[in-house]
């Protein structure tokens, strides 16, 4: 059974392994000891922070752990409110029309405008599942456990939830979109820019990025072709979010032009459809699968389990194994989502 829980400092080696395996373009997991250690420390501080009534500087990082082997299978996280301490940049794709009635000419062109439009929003991020664990409901669990947390503790998150999807790059980490920017405005390659962003050194972006809108039709054909497209490895994650109600509002990443998708918290399907039930610990024969989490925040636990829900009494039968994995006792409440 895969169990999601808050990360601990003892998970550092596993987090470093995830950072290495995630590869180029995965900005939120830089292969840097100081930055990874700081992320764990900040997450521990955030989960321990009590009486939170609105999103602030909190960053929640979790790991999925195999309950039998203890091996860390992957990571998943949420930033409660981005862009305050470190600027968050994106491009917005807009449309303008150049028209001359006298010449009977109408040209529709697209622009990329540099901005900070997602400042203050909550970001779901750092979703990475190691290849050996990409099976069953593990991927859904690692993604949707965050929505169970949001449904149970909405005061900790913003109205708008968004996610940056990894854009197109080759196996060596070269981005066609960045190649054009590099040629005209920068002198560093994509992997270095990506790394500097991951470790928080974003000053070069504001210093060197073109401040005026960029006409998309002036970019190379290769760069134009990847705007709003995702990396092959990211397609399953994008599909899952689209099924939850997330959509691209014409914002893309400034490095690889991958799409940014967003949804109002209250409209996320898993948030709307999840519900509370009271725990009865008992053996059962139900084959119905649920994503289930406890209602604690500091000691959050989530897993994909078999359970028997009784709508009339509002109770759910779970095995002792599941109760132990989720730190539950008889009579406790859980939040659950049918699969």
Cα separation, 339 vs 137, in Å, equals: 9
For residue 292, what are its two tokens? 């289930």
CA distance 126 to 138: 15
Whether 231 is a known active-site residue: answer yes
Distance CA 4, CA 229 (A): 30
For residue 332, give both structure tokens: 């406790």
E strand intervals along 144-274: 160-164, 214-215, 247-252, 259-264
Give dist(CA 95, CA 310) in Å, integer: 52
Of 153, 171, 231, 284, the catalytic one is 231
Q: How many CA within 13 A on the CB side of residue 255? A: 27
Q: Residue 287: is it exposed, middle or buried by C-beta count within 10 angstroms (0-12/13-18/19+)?
A: exposed
How distant, in Å, are the alpha carbons of 278, 329, 332 from that of 281? 10, 8, 10
The residues annotated as belonging to the active site are 231
């Amino acid at each position: 059974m895969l169990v999601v829980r808050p990360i601990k400092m003892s998970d550092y080696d596993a987090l470093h392994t995830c950072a290495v395996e995630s590869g180029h373009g995965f900005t939120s997991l830089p292969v840097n000891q100081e930055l990874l250690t700081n992320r764990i420390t900040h997450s521990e501080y955030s989960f321990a922070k009590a009486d939170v009534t609105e999103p602030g500087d909190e960053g929640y990082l979790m790991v999925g752990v195999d309950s039998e082997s203890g091996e860390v299978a992957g990571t998943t996280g949420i930033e409660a409110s981005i862009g305050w301490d470190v600027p968050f940049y994106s491009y917005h794709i807009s449309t303008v029309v150049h028209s001359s009635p006298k010449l009977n000419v109408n040209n529709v062109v697209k622009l990329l405008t540099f901005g900070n439009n997602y400042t203050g929003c909550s970001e779901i991020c750092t979703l990475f599942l190691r290849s050996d664990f990409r099976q069953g409901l593990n991927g859904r669990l690692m993604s949707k456990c965050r929505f169970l947390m949001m449904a149970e503790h909405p005061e900790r998150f913003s109205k708008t939830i968004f996610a940056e999807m990894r854009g197109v790059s080759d196996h060596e980490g070269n981005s066609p979109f960045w190649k054009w920017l590099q040629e005209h405005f920068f002198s560093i390659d994509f992997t270095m820019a990506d790394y500097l962003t991951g470790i928080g050194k974003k000053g070069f972006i504001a210093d060197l990025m073109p401040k005026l809108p960029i006409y998309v039709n002036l970019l190379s054909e290769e760069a134009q072709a990847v705007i709003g497209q995702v990396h092959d490895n990211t397609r399953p994650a994008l599909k899952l979010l689209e099924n939850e109600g997330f959509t691209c509002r014409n914002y893309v990443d400034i490095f690889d032009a991958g799409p940014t998708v967003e949804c109002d918290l209250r409209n996320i399907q898993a948030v709307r459809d999840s519900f509370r039930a009271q725990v009865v610990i008992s053996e059962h024969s139900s084959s119905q699968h649920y994503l289930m989490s406890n209602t604690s925040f500091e000691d959050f636990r989530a897993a994909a389990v078999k359970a028997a829900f009784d709508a009339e009494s509002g109770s759910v039968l779970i095995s002792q194994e599941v109760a132990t994995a989720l730190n539950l006792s008889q009579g406790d409440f859980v939040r659950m989502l049918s699969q």
